[in-house]
Amino acid sequence: MNELIPRAAIEETVAHRNRALELYRAAFDKIAAADAAVRAAEAQVALACAGTGEGYRSYVDRHLPEIAEFDSAVKLPDGETYMQVAERLTDLRVWASLIERTNLETLMDREAKTQLRAQMSWVAPPRYHAREVARGDEQRLPAVTVETIYQTLSGFAEQSGAIFRRGLANAFANLDRRFRSHDGFKIGSRVILSYAFDGFGSWNYHRHHRDTLQDIERVFLVLDGKSPRAPYGGIVGAVDHARKSGGVRKTEHEGDYFRVRVFKNGNAHLWFTRDDLVKKANLLLAEHFGEVVADGKDRPEDPNESLDRRAVGHARNLGWFPTPDKVADEVVEKLTAYPHRDIIGKSLLEPSAGEGALARRAAKAGALVDVVELDAGRATKLRAGGLRAVTCGDFLELAPEERRQYDFVAMNPPFDRGRDIDHVWHAWKFLRPGGRLVAVMSASSEFSESAKAVAFRSEMERVKARWSDLPAGSFAPDTWVNARILVADKMVG
């Protein structure tokens, strides 16, 4: 394992931290003793005044600075709260020091940084309530012990490869679709960081694109065989230096791997200058997203690609990824959502059904469900599930005229090489006028510039289909591909 800091140094750090808390505890005891002494002195003053009160102190005297300081010189805090705050502040400073000493931030992507900042900004309540203990344990930084520090730092060192792959994927997946020059799985020659700078010409910290830029540069450094570096030493530092005087203006910046142009509207355009590293990055994205994506493998564009020209062959494991419960629930909910549709007693088709996550829910809701599944083993299991009809075969080989038309179609098709578009477009032909189709699709189907995707979107726009994002990582850990839900109603006439 590549250690970021020797274990002996961690042990020394923890020993100093523990000694500091002992001294804080001793300090509280002395504050308590001083408080007791002050109270004893006040009691003697009361006796000296022989029962006539505290003696005369005018309003002005009571508000003189030196008198106010005298009265507040010793104030005894609650002991439990005092030690909680002492431990909290000490641990924050220790973790901040460890992050700086190990240069840990260079290994962290935007997601990891966001989590760390949330943990470091969480403040414990003065006194824990039972329900806050669990919440605090989830949100606060790990305790400062030799083992937790060692495990945390070791984890970052060991997972650095996965973290920078995730950082690259998240950096591009989260860009505004209107400004993408890529399809979400494959980087093009340019990207645009929308609203990266605010109305004053400074970084827009609500958008976090400073972290996005650093994530991209860190991955390119690693792909170039170099070590990650601190923000001030790279393109982020160059941008910060050039724009330190503030103000809304246009600026240009040159780094080792890309050029950055910042416009007055706050958008930052980024051009890649190393085609060899862009190619490596695309392979990295394909590795991150898994077999579900083939776009990272330099597949040449098909000049004859169209809605009626399908991908050849089958994906690994037939492109099947189980539909998570939350996604399945949302799909079934959208079958009957506004404008309202009644599913009870109505016919529904789930093509390429897999294990029937959607079909079983729809049947339980009262629909008459037919499914199609290519895998013989899964088809056999589906037949034991109380569905109306199960067909074992390739859905794309079934002709619509050979099947009845359906009131509903619910589906989670294979994603790779545009197969989701192939399956959804074919399923559309099985839907009767007035029916509704709800499909889980890859995010690229809504913004890819391939001929097939453009034609598919045109058809969906014609019928006023609606798209909605699924949360990032909805299919993790099986795949990290971002997905969306399409809802399309077939018009009558």
**Model confidence band, residue 160 (pLDDT cutoffs 50, 70, 90):** low
Percent of the chain with pLDDT over 90: 29
Q: Please choose, from the candidates 426, 424, 209, 231, the residue with its C-alpha nearest in 3D space to the C-alpha of residue 331.
A: 424
Please state whether the peptide bond connecting residue 324 to the residue before it is cis, i.e. omega within 30 degrees of 0.
no
Given a cut of 60, whether residue 138 has pLDDT beyond it is no
Do the strands 190-193 and 251-254 form a parallel or antiparallel pair, or are they unpaired? unpaired
What pLDDT is stored for residue 128 in this prediction? 44
**Tokens matching residue 438:** 């709800």
Coarse DSSP helix, strand, coil percentages of the chain, rounded to the nearest 5 percent: 50, 15, 40
User: What does the chain come to in residues?
Assistant: 493
**Model confidence band, residue 135 (pLDDT cutoffs 50, 70, 90):** very low
**Model confidence band, residue 130 (pLDDT cutoffs 50, 70, 90):** very low
Rounded Cα gap, residues 309 and 318, in angstroms: 19
- The amino acid that residue 433 corresponds to is P
Across 255-284, average pLDDT: 88
Cα dist. 134→128, 130, 328 in Å? 10, 7, 30
Comparing 84 with 430, which gets the higher pLDDT? Answer: 430
Comparing 341 with 101, which gets the higher pLDDT? Answer: 341
* Residues contacting 289, CB < 8 A, separation 6+: 169, 185, 296, 479, 480, 481
Q: Please choose, from the candidates 83, 82, 81, 97, the residue with its C-alpha nearest in 3D space to the C-alpha of residue 141.
A: 97
Q: Whose structure tokens read 């990650």? A: 228
- The amino acid that residue 158 corresponds to is E
Rounded Cα gap, residues 321 and 315, in angstroms: 11
Q: Please choose, from the candidates 314, 315, 390, 384, the residue with its C-alpha nearest in 3D space to the C-alpha of residue 353.
A: 390
Q: Taking all residues of the chain, what is their mean pLDDT, rounded to a whole number? A: 79
Cα dist. 383→325, 346, 373, 386, 400 in Å? 21, 20, 11, 7, 22
What pLDDT is stored for residue 343 in this prediction? 93
Comparing 438 with 221, which gets the higher pLDDT? Answer: 438
DSSP state of 156: H
Cα dist. 127→79, 82, 89, 92 in Å? 11, 10, 16, 19
What pLDDT is stored for residue 294 in this prediction? 40
Rounded Cα gap, residues 336 and 331, in angstroms: 9
Rounded Cα gap, residues 178 and 397, in angstroms: 36
Please state whether the peptide bond connecting residue 142 to the residue before it is cis, i.e. omega within 30 degrees of 0.
no
Cβ pair 284, 215 in contact under 8 A = no
* Residues contacting 414, CB < 8 A, separation 6+: 292, 315, 318, 319, 320, 352, 420, 423
Q: What is the pTM of this model?
A: 0.55
Domain boundaries, the chain: 7-158, 162-289, 316-489
Given a cut of 70, whether residue 92 has pLDDT beyond it is yes
* Beta bridge partners of residue 410, listed in sequence order: 438
Let me know the angle formed at the C-alpha of 67 by 63 and 72, rounded to the nearest 5 degrees: 105
Rounded Cα gap, residues 18 and 24, in angstroms: 10
> What is the CB-side half-sphere exposure of residue 7 using CA atoms within 13 A?
8
Reported for 122-131, long-range contacts at CB under 8 A and 24+ positions apart, including other chains, are: 123/88, 124/84, 124/85, 124/88, 126/78, 126/81, 126/84, 127/78, 127/80, 127/81
Cβ pair 372, 402 in contact under 8 A = no
CA 476 to chain centre: 12
CATH architecture observed for domain 316-489 = 3-Layer(aba) Sandwich (3.40)
> What is the CB-side half-sphere exposure of residue 50 using CA atoms within 13 A?
0
Q: How many CB atoms lie within 10 A of CB 238?
A: 16
Three-class secondary structure of residue 492 per DSSP: coil
What pLDDT is stored for residue 293 in this prediction? 44
The pLDDT tens digits of the residues spanning 392-405 come to 999 999 988 656 79
Sheet holding 268-272, edge to edge: 190-193, 268-272, 258-262, 251-254
What pLDDT is stored for residue 229 in this prediction? 73
Which ranges of 49-109 does DSSP label H, i.e. alpha helix? 59-62, 65-71, 79-102
DSSP state of 51: T
Query: Rg (Cα) of the chain, in Å, rounded?
Result: 31
**Model confidence band, residue 59 (pLDDT cutoffs 50, 70, 90):** low
Comparing 179 with 126, which gets the higher pLDDT? Answer: 126
Comparing 329 with 71, which gets the higher pLDDT? Answer: 329
- The amino acid that residue 152 corresponds to is T
Task: Region of 473 please: left (phi>0), alpha (psi -120 to 50) or beta.
Answer: left
Given a cut of 50, whether residue 291 has pLDDT beyond it is no
